[in-house]
């Protein structure tokens, strides 16, 4: 006998592996507790393929809420699958994921709005407007909603939880966007009993009141530029654990660096390094320190980042001895993974002018101890272009 799942609500929480793991866990399990407090059946789990998590890798937790299903039936319906196909509410804790997700390694890049259904909602924690974000969505054949609560992506590390109230703010927004999950009264009473903090209750209430919502129509968005991932069925898996060897090779660029082409990591990134080749001293430190071998040595002796492989860890910017030579820039400020180096060779001064405008005046430098947030420095005057002879 098939189950009547008409009142089932599915929630997907997209987050960056390690840095937002605890935050996402708080949200998906808190939703379950709040729904329980209203007498509903609820259950949460995570996408098994993302373990072990790597820094920045796109991951997802899920929550399922129903008024009519029993606990056993809900678990039978929801717990066996490694992923979900559709969701009434999709939450995105880092807005740079709007450029695509690669949670299944080399199987391909998926759109962030893939799961949202007709009439459903996708919620971002972002300081960008809904229109700025939805123009990067894959175009769909139906209308749905985009919502935002203001804020930058909240990051911490493996052993830390950055308690900046993003978790309770998201809970407040959930109550507004899908009251079938839980009412705002239940959310506020849960937050009060869990944290005993009026400040947290107020943060959840403010998010409920201030969440911005807009409609996404079928004309909006882009035709998805990447092939859609096709995952093997369980009968197609090879026996045992198979780790493909990297093809041996000895070329070191340009663009010939010997890498595992099955393991590109560009969608792990929230920031990317941008290099001022005109002031680079060719010291090799960035190339030697990059944990992902993302730098291609060029014929002229510079080191060019291959953005398909760079995970945005920031180490190169940290070790570069030349002030403002490698700067980490928010991923949303750039649209493609193309190398800048050819542009630099063709017209060095216009390259410098363009990347300085992309970089802006603020420099965001990660703290060495994760969970402490970023240091933001302001640069009033960028370094002048230096002619290389």
Output phi, psi for 366, to 5 deg. Answer: -65, 145
Minimum distance from CB of 23 to ligand SF4 (Å)? 22
- Region from 19-27, 29-37, 39-47, 307-315 binding ligand SF4, contact rule CB under 6 A: 307-315
Residue 326, interface with ligand SF4 (CB under 6 A)?
A: yes
Residue 57, interface with ligand SF4 (CB under 6 A)?
A: no
Minimum distance from CB of 35 to ligand SF4 (Å)? 40
Residue 322, interface with ligand SF4 (CB under 6 A)?
A: yes
Residue 325, interface with ligand SF4 (CB under 6 A)?
A: yes
- Region from 35-43, 112-120, 150-158, 273-281 binding ligand SF4, contact rule CB under 6 A: 273-281
Minimum distance from CB of 359 to ligand SF4 (Å)? 14
For ligand SF4, the closer of residues 3 and 283 by Cβ is 283
Minimum distance from CB of 41 to ligand SF4 (Å)? 43
Task: Report long-range pairs for 160-164 (Cβ below 8 Å, ≥24 apart).
Answer: 160/22, 160/370, 160/371, 160/372, 161/22, 161/23, 161/26, 161/371, 162/23, 162/371, 162/373
Closest to 376 in 3D by CA, of 361, 356, 357? 361
Please, is 269 exposed, middle or buried when counting C-beta atoms within 10 Å of its C-beta (0-12, 13-18, 19+)? buried
**Residue of the chain from 89, 153, 188, 310 that contacts ligand SF4 (CB under 6 A):** 310
For ligand SF4, the closer of residues 204 and 327 by Cβ is 327
How far is residue 124's CA from residue 114's CA, in Å, rounded to a whole number? 15
* Structure tokens belonging to residue 262: 């099955």
Residue 305, interface with ligand SF4 (CB under 6 A)?
A: yes
Residue 275, interface with ligand SF4 (CB under 6 A)?
A: yes
DSSP element (H, E) containing 175: helix 166-177
15 and 23 Cβ atoms separated by less than 8 Å: yes
Q: Strand, coil or helix: what is 344?
A: helix
Reported residue count of the chain is 389
For 64-93, letters b (16+ CB in 10 Å) and e give: bbbeebeeebbeebbeeeeebeebbbbbbb
Total of residues contacting ligand SF4 (CB under 6 A): 26
Minimum distance from CB of 312 to ligand SF4 (Å)? 5
Edge-first strand order for the sheet with 212-216 is 41-46, 58-66, 9-16, 87-92, 116-125, 144-149, 212-216
- Region from 75-83, 137-145, 183-191, 274-282 binding ligand SF4, contact rule CB under 6 A: 274-282
Closest to 211 in 3D by CA, of 179, 183, 170, 182? 170
Residue 351, interface with ligand SF4 (CB under 6 A)?
A: no
How far is residue 69's CA from residue 330's CA, in Å, rounded to a whole number? 44
Residue 315, interface with ligand SF4 (CB under 6 A)?
A: yes
Residue 175, interface with ligand SF4 (CB under 6 A)?
A: no
For ligand SF4, the closer of residues 9 and 325 by Cβ is 325
Minimum distance from CB of 377 to ligand SF4 (Å)? 18
- Region from 1-9, 117-125, 180-188, 272-280 binding ligand SF4, contact rule CB under 6 A: 272-280
- Region from 17-25, 38-46, 205-213, 304-312 binding ligand SF4, contact rule CB under 6 A: 304-312
Residue 320, interface with ligand SF4 (CB under 6 A)?
A: yes
* Structure tokens belonging to residue 298: 């060029």
Binding to ligand SF4, residues 282-301 (CB under 6 A): 282-286, 290, 292, 294-295
Residues 6+ apart with CB under 8 A from 21: 15, 53, 59, 158
Binding region for ligand SF4 (CB under 6 A): 273, 275, 280-286, 290, 292, 294-295, 303, 305, 310-316, 320, 322, 325-326
């Amino acid at each position: 006998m098939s189950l009547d799942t008409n009142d089932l609500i599915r929630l997907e929480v997209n987050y960056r592996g390690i840095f937002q793991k605890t935050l996402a866990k708080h949200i998906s399990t808190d939703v379950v507790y709040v729904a329980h407090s209203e007498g509903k059946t609820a259950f949460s789990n995570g996408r098994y393929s993302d373990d072990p998590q790597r820094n920045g890798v796109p991951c997802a937790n899920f929550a399922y809420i129903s008024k009519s299903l029993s606990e056993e039936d809900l678990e039978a319906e929801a717990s066996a699958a490694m992923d979900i196909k559709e969701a009434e509410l999709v939450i995105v804790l880092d807005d740079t994921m709007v450029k695509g997700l690669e949670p299944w390694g080399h199987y391909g890049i998926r759109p962030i709005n893939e799961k949202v259904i007709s009439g459903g909602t996708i919620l971002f924690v972002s300081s960008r407007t809904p229109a700025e974000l939805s123009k990067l969505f894959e175009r769909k054949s139906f209308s749905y909603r985009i919502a935002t609560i203001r804020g930058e992506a909240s990051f911490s590390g493996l052993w830390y939880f950055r308690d900046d109230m993003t978790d309770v703010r998201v809970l407040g927004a959930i109550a507004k966007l899908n009251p079938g999950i839980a009412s705002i009264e239940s959310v506020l009473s849960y937050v009060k009993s869990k944290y005993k903090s009026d400040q947290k209750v107020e943060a959840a209430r403010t998010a409920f009141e201030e969440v911005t919502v807009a409609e996404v129509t079928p004309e909006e968005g882009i035709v998805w530029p990447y092939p859609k991932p096709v995952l093997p069925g369980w009968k197609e898996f090879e026996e045992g654990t198979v780790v493909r060897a990297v093809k041996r090779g000895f070329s070191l660029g340009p663009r010939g660096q010997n890498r595992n082409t099955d393991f590109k990591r560009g969608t792990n990134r929230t920031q990317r390094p941008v290099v001022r080749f005109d002031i680079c001293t060719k010291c090799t430190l960035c190339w030697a320190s990059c944990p992902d071998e993302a730098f291609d040595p060029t014929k002229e002796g510079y080191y060019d980042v291959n953005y398909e492989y760079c995970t945005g860890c920031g180490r190169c910017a940290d070790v570069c001895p030349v002030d403002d030579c490698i700067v980490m820039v928010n991923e949303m400020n750039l649209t493609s993974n193309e190398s800048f180096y050819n542009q630099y060779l063709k017209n060095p001064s216009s390259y410098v002018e363009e990347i300085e405008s992309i970089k802006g005046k603020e420099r965001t430098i990660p703290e060495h101890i994760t969970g402490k947030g970023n240091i933001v420095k302001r640069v009033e005057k960028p370094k002048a272009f230096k002619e290389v002879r």
